[in-house]
Amino acid sequence: MSWLAWMCTLPDVVVGIISGILPPVLLTVLMMLLPIVLRLLARFEGIPKESGLELSLMTRFFIFQVVVSTVYHVPLLL
């Protein structure tokens, strides 16, 4: 990828931070935002009670985790 060629000129420490620390930090931030987004989607559905919102949130989060872990682990078994 020619648009990433500038990264080859960076010091090894910076490349190590970008490739080693940045991806887990970004994944953590996205996983922190996921329940917030799922709760907002449940509110837009018109679920009236807070307990219904939380049940919808937990159900969708569980389905998300099952799908992500399946997508990740099935290719490793093949």
pLDDT digits (tens, 9 = 90+) for 17-51: 888 999 999 999 999 999 999 999 999 999 889 99
**What is the spatial distance between Cα 66 and Cα 54, in angstroms, rounded to a whole number?**
18
Question: Quick check: helix, strand or coil at residue 42?
Answer: helix
Of all residues in the chain, what percent carry a pLDDT higher than 70?
Answer: 99
Instruction: Judge whether residue 56 has pLDDT over 90.
Output: yes
Domain coordinates in residue numbering, the chain:
2-77
Neighbours of 1 (CB within 10 A): 5
Instruction: Judge whether residue 5 has pLDDT over 90.
Output: no
Give pLDDT, residue 60: 94
Entry pTM:
0.70
